[in-house]
Chains A and B, each alone.
Chain A
C-alpha cells in the first residue's frame, strides 16, 4: 500500500516537474530579472546604481500614468462592450441552437483567429481608411460627398479590440451557459418573470463565473495588446504597452521599460482583484 502511495507521489512529481520547470525558467526567472533591472539607474556609461527612480518617474511624470489610466479605462470599456456583444451571441449558440448549426456558428466565431492578429488588423485598416471600403461605400451611396477617415481614432481602436477579444469572451460564456439547466429558465418564467427578470435573476447569476473569467481574459489581453491600438489608433493611440515597447526598443531604456512592465503587471492585477471583489467571485471558482 505504502509502496503504491510512493509510486503515486513519484508520478505526481514527474507530471508536475515539466510545468514547474517551465514556470521557473520562462516566467519566474525573467520576472525576477525584470525587477532587478527596473531597480537600477544608469549613472554613467556602463555603470548602474540602485534606484527607485524608474518607479517614481511613472507617478511624477503625468504623461505615463495618464497613458496607463487611459489604457485601463479603454480596456475596461472594451471588455464591457465585448461582454455586451458576446452575451446574446453566446446565449444563442448555447441555448437556441442544436447540433450542426451550433458547431457551424461556433466555428464562425473561431475563423478570424486562423489568421494572425497583424493580418486581421490590416484588414480593418483597409476597411476603415480614408480611401478604404467603408468610405467608398458611403460615397457611392451618396451619404457623404467626400472621403471620410474612420481610422486613427478611439472608435477604431475600440472596434479592433472588441473584434480581437470576441472569441475569448464567447468560449467561457458558451461553456457556462450550456451547463445552465433549461428548466431553471422555464421555472423563472413560470413563476412570473419577464425576459429581463429571467436574464437578471437566473441566466446572469449562473453565467457569472463565465462572465468574470471571460472579462479577466479579455481585459488582460486588451491591456497587453500592442498591435491593434498602435495600428488603428495612429497618432493618438497612447497605449501603455506601446510606452513599454518604446522604452525597450527605441530608447534602449531597459530600466524604465522593466519598471513599466512591472507596474503594468501589478496595476492590472489590482484592477482584476477589484473586479473580482465587486462581482463577489473568487479566482479559483472563476478559473475552474
Chain B
C-alpha cells in the first residue's frame, strides 16, 4: 500500500466507480488501486456488487460514473477484447469444442502471434501450470483442478496486466478447494501477475490475498491486509462478516478515562478498555450509549473447574455442548447470569480432550479484546 503514490507501479485503479441497474445501485463510488504483482481480493456476500465491479474492469459493463485506469491509462473506451486484462470465469468457460492446447492458444491466435511461437508458448505455459502432456486432451477429460489450471493458463499466456478471477473455486469440492487455494497463491507468486479475486468465502480471501477489500451493498467497507481485517475490523459489517465472533448488544453503565463498564441485553456484565480501533477511542461515547460488541472465540481463555483465568472479565459456566472439528473445535458455554451461549475455542491441550457436556469451566477475556461499534 505504500507504493500507491508511485503511479507506474499501480496496475489497476478505480476512481469513484458507480453503476446502477434501474433503481438498484449495484456499485457506489468505489475507489481503490492495486499495486503491481499483488493478490487483491474483493470479499462480500452475494449481491454486494463485487461481480458487477469485476465485469466493469473486464469491460463487459461500463460504469455510470467514475473511471477505470490500467497502468495509468483509462480503459473506459476500450472494448473487452482489447483490454489488457483477462478473466477466469466462475464456471471457467473453457471452450468444450477445442483441445486443451487450442484453449490455451486461443488468445495468442487472436493476437496474430506466429504459429511456431504459439506452439512453444503454449507448451511452456502448460508445463508451468504442471500439465505438460495434456495439450491434446479434450476438456472433458480433465479433472476439476486441472480445468482450473488450464483456465488460468489460458489467461496468463497472454501476460495480462491484471488477471480477474470470478469465484473460480466455487464449483469445486471442499478438499480440492483447500488445495487449489494454496496452488493459486503459488501460481500468482510464480508469475508475478496482479490477481483480482472475488469471492464470498472469507477463508479463500484471507489465505491467498495480500490485500482484501470487504464489500457490502455496493461499497467498500474496509480495505486492508487479512490480519488487519481480522483483528481490527473497521465496521460492524466487517467484524461480523470476517471470522467468527460472539456478539452482544449492550449499554454503557459507567465511563472512565480508560474505558467503560457495560451491561448486555443478555444480562452479561463486562469491562471494556480502549474499545475498537484508535478512531473509536476518541469517540465521545457517554453513559447510556447503545453499542454492539464482538468477541472472537479464540480470545477467550478457558480453564477447567473453578480456577479462574487471569483476565479482566471472569465468569463461571457450564459446558452446553462440544463441537469437535479438529483444530477448529469449539464448545458452547452457558454462563449462569446470561441467557446467551458463549462460543469458546477449544484449547488444544490434553486436559480438554475429555471435556464433555455439563463440565464446569471458568472463562474470561481481557478487557481490550472486545470490539465495540455504534448501533
Q: Which residues from chain A sit less than 8 Å from chain B, CB to CB? A: 181, 183-184, 186-194, 197, 201-202, 205-206
Contact = CB atoms under 8 A, between A and B. Distances in A.
Contacts of A192: 81-82, 107, 110-111, 158
Contact of A190 (B58, B91, B94, B111): B58
24 contacts: A181-B93, A183-B90, A183-B93, A184-B93, A186-B60, A186-B80, A186-B87, A186-B89, A186-B93, A190-B85, A190-B87, A191-B81, A191-B86, A191-B106, A191-B110, A191-B154, A192-B82, A192-B107, A192-B110, A192-B158, A193-B106, A194-B81, A202-B95, A205-B95
B95 A193 contact: no
Contacts of A202: 95
Contacts of B82: 192
A206 B97 contact: yes
B80 A187 contact: no
A187 B95 CA distance: 9
Contact of B89 (A187, A197, A205): A187
Given A201-B106, A202-B95, A206-B97, A189 B89 contact: no
Contacts of A186: 58, 60, 80, 87, 89, 93
Given A181-B93, A184-B95, A189 B80 contact: yes
A27 B370 CA distance: 82
Interface of B: 58-60, 79-82, 85-87, 89-91, 93-98, 106-107, 110-111, 154-155, 158
Contacts of A184: 93, 95
Given A201-B106, A202-B95, A193 B81 contact: yes
Given A186-B89, A188-B106, 6 more contacts: A183-B91, A186-B80, A186-B93, A187-B89, A190-B58, A191-B155
Nearest to B111: A192
Contacts of B98: 201
B106 A190 contact: no
Q: Please indicate which of the listed interface residues A183, A187, A191, A205 has the most CB atoms of chain B within 10 Å of its own CB.
A: A191
B121 to A, nearest CB: 14
A16 to B, nearest CB: 32
A188 B95 contact: yes
A187 B111 contact: no
Give the 6 A-B CB pairs with smallest separation, nearest first.
A192-B110, A191-B107, A187-B93, A205-B97, A183-B93, A183-B89
A187 B158 contact: no
Contacts of A181: 91, 93
B358 to A, nearest CB: 49
Nearest to A204: B97
Contacts of A190: 58-59, 80-81, 85-87
A189 to B, nearest CB: 5
Nearest to A208: B97
Contacts of B89: 183, 186-187
A193 B111 CA distance: 8
A189 B58 CA distance: 10
A246 B81 CA distance: 59
B112 to A, nearest CB: 9
B178 to A, nearest CB: 25
Contacts of B87: 186-187, 190
A201 B102 CA distance: 11
A194 B112 CA distance: 13
Nearest to B97: A205
A101 to B, nearest CB: 16
B328 to A, nearest CB: 34
A183 B81 CA distance: 14
Contacts of B79: 189
Contact of B95 (A189, A194, A201): A201
A192 B111 CA distance: 7
Contacts of A206: 96-97
Contacts of A205: 95, 97
Nearest to B157: A191
A283 B93 CA distance: 27
Nearest to A193: B110
Nearest to A186: B60
